C-alpha cells in the first residue's frame, strides 16, 4: 500500500491542464464493442480504473493500439465471447465498477452478457436495478446467481420499448442507450440522465450511425439501426478535477490557471464555488483563480445558512461535495453540506476534525462546516483515503495544513487522478510518494 507524504503550507502558482473525464471514458471505451470498425479516442486519462478497462477490452479480443500519451485506437472485429466464461474475466470485471457498461454493447451486438457483481468505491449502496430494468424492457432475460454473485443475461432478440426509469442513473442510462441503438424498432427512455458525459456518448454513437434524438434532455428517443461504423472522438476535460483545482487554489492561497476547462459544459459548478466566496475569472476557456487570503461563504437571501446539496444534472454533482466541504473549513462563514445520493460519502469528516476543522456530522448525509477564516489552520496528521473523492479532499486539506501529513491507501486517489502528485509538485507543492 503506497502513501503520500505531504508538506503543507506552500502557495502554488502556475497553469494546470485537467485530464480527460474519467466518467466519460468508462462509457466511451465500452461503446467500442458496438462496431467491428476502428474507433479512435483522444484525451483518455491515464488512471487506474481506465487502464484496467482498456486491459479488459484487450483480453476480450479488442485490438488496442496506443497512438500517443492520451490517444488510442480500438477495433472489436474479433471479440472472444468464450473469454466471458473464464474466472479471469469475472475477477477482473468484478474489480472495476465501470465494467458493468460492457453489458449493453455485448447484448446489442452479440446477444449475450455475463458479469460478476461490480466493485468500486465504498460509498454506500449502488444498485444495478436501473440497468436490468432497461434490459428487461428491451426483451433481455437474466438470472442472478446469488451464490457466486454472477449475472447471466440473454439478449438475443432485443426490441425497442418505452421505459420510465426509476432513477436518472448515468451508467444505467448509458448502458440502456448502448443496448437500444442496435435493437429492433424505437426505444423511448424517460427520466434519462442528461450529464455532459452522456451527451458525449450519444453524440459519438450518432456519428457511428445511431439515431438518437433528445440528447441533453431527460427524454431520449432511439431508432434502432442494423449496424454501427467507426468514428473519432475527443473526451471532455474532467469536471471533478476542475472543481478540485478550484477548491485547492482557495485552500492554499494559490494562483492557478486551469487550462481548456470547457466552461460552457460545467453547469453550476463555477457558480457554486463562487457562492463559497472564491474569486475566479474566465479567460476564454481558461479559469484563472487569483491568490485569496480570505473567502467568505454567502448566505441565502434571508440571511439563513447556505446549503449545498447534490442533485442529478443539471444540479450539483455529488462527486464535488467533499471538495466543497473541505474548502469550507478555511472560509469565513457556515455551510450545510447535504449528500443525498450516497450514505457513506461523508465518512472522511473525522479525519478533517482530527486536523482541527470545525465540522458537525449531523448524520450520514449532512455535515455543518463552520469556517473560521483561517484563524485556526489545519494541522498535519496521518490518515487513510477511503475513496477517490474523499482521498483528493484529504490531499487538499494536507496541502493547506501546518506541518506534514501522511495519506495512506493512495491507490484510491490514483483511480481517479492521473499523476496528481507530479502535476501539483510542478506548481510548487511538496508531495512525496512513499
The single-letter DSSP state of residue 402 is B
DSSP for 154-209, written as a single string: E-TT-B--EEE-SS--HHHHHHHHHHHTTSBSEEEEES----HHHHHHHHHHHHTT
- Paired strand residues for 308: 337
Cell numbers for 339: 449528500
Catalytic residue (one of 49, 87, 121, 166): 121
Query: How many whole angstroms separate alpha carbon 158 and alpha carbon 139?
Result: 5
121 carries an active-site annotation: yes
**Cell for 180?**
437500444
Distant-in-sequence, close-in-space partners of 382: CB < 8 Å, separation ≥ 6: 405, 406, 408
Strands (DSSP E) contained in 229-358 are 231-234, 255-258, 281-283, 286-289, 306-309, 332-338
| Cα 389 versus chain centre, distance | 9
By CB atoms closer than 10 A (0-12, 13-18, 19+), residue 410 is: buried
Catalytic residues: 121
Amino acid at each position: 500500500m503506497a502513501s503520500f507524504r505531504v508538506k503543507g503550507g506552500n502557495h502554488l502558482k502556475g497553469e494546470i491542464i485537467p485530464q480527460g473525464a474519467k466518467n466519460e471514458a468508462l462509457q466511451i471505451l465500452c461503446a467500442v464493442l458496438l462496431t467491428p470498425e476502428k474507433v479512435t479516442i483522444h484525451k483518455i486519462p491515464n488512471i487506474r480504473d481506465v487502464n484496467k478497462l482498456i486491459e479488459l477490452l484487450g483480453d476480450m479480443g479488442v485490438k488496442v493500439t496506443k497512438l500517443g500519451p492520451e490517444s488510442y485506437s480500438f477495433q472489436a472485429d474479433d471479440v472472444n465471447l468464450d473469454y466471458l466464461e473464464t474466472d479471469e474475466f469475472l475477477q477482473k470485471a468484478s474489480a472495476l465498477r465501470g465494467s458493468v457498461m460492457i453489458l449493453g454493447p455485448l447484448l446489442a451486438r452479440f446477444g449475450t452478457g455475463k458479469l460478476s457483481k461490480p466493485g468500486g468505491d465504498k460509498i454506500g449502496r449502488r444498485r444495478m436495478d436501473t440497468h436490468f430494468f432497461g434490459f428487461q424492457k428491451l426483451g433481455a432475460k437474466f438470472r442472478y446467481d446469488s451464490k457466486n454473485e454472477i449475472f447471466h443475461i440473454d439478449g438475443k432478440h432485443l426490441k425497442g420499448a418505452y421505459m420510465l426509469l426509476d432513477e436518472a442513473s448515468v451508467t444505467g442510462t448509458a448502458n440502456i442507450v448502448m443496448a437500444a441503438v442496435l435493437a429492433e424498432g424505437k426505444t423511448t427512455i424517460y427520466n434519462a440522465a442528461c450529464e455532459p458525459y452522456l451527451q458525449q456518448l450519444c453524440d459519438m454513437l450518432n456519428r457511428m450511425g445511431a439515431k438518437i434524438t433528445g440528447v441533453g434532455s431527460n427524454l431520449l428517443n432511439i431508432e434502432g439501426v442494423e449496424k454501427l461504423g467507426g468514428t473519432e472522438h475527443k473526451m471532455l476535460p474532467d469536471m471533478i478535477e476542475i472543481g478540485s483545482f478550484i477548491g485547492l487554489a482557495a485552500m492554499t492561497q494559490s494562483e492557478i490557471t486551469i487550462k481548456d476547462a470547457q466552461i460552457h459544459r460545467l453547469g453550476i459548478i463555477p457558480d457554486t464555488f463562487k457562492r463559497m466566496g472564491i474569486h475566479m475569472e474566465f479567460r476564454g476557456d481558461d479559469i484563472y483563480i487569483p491568490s485569496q487570503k480570505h473567502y467568505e461563504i454567502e448566505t441565502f437571501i434571508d440571511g439563513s445558512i447556505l446549503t449545498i446539496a447534490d442533485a442529478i444534472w443539471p444540479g450539483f454533482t455529488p462527486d464535488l461535495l467533499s471538495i466543497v466541504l473541505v474548502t469550507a473549513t478555511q472560509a469565513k462563514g457556515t455551510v450545510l453540506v447535504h449528500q443525498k445520493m450516497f450514505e457513506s460519502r461523508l465518512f472522511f469528516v473525522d479525519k478533517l476534525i482530527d486536523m482541527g476543522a470545525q465540522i458537525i456530522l449531523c448524520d450520514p448525509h449532512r455535515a455543518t462546516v463552520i469556517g473560521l477564516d483561517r484563524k485556526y489552520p489545519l494541522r498535519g496528521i496521518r490518515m487513510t483515503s477511503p475513496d477517490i473523492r474523499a482521498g483528493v479532499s484529504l490531499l487538499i486539506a494536507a496541502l493547506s495544513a501546518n506541518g506534514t501529513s501522511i495519506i495512506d491507501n493512495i491507490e484510491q486517489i490514483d483511480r481517479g487522478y492521473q499523476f496528481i502528485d507530479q502535476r501539483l509538485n510542478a506548481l510548487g507543492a511538496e508531495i512525496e510518494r512513499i
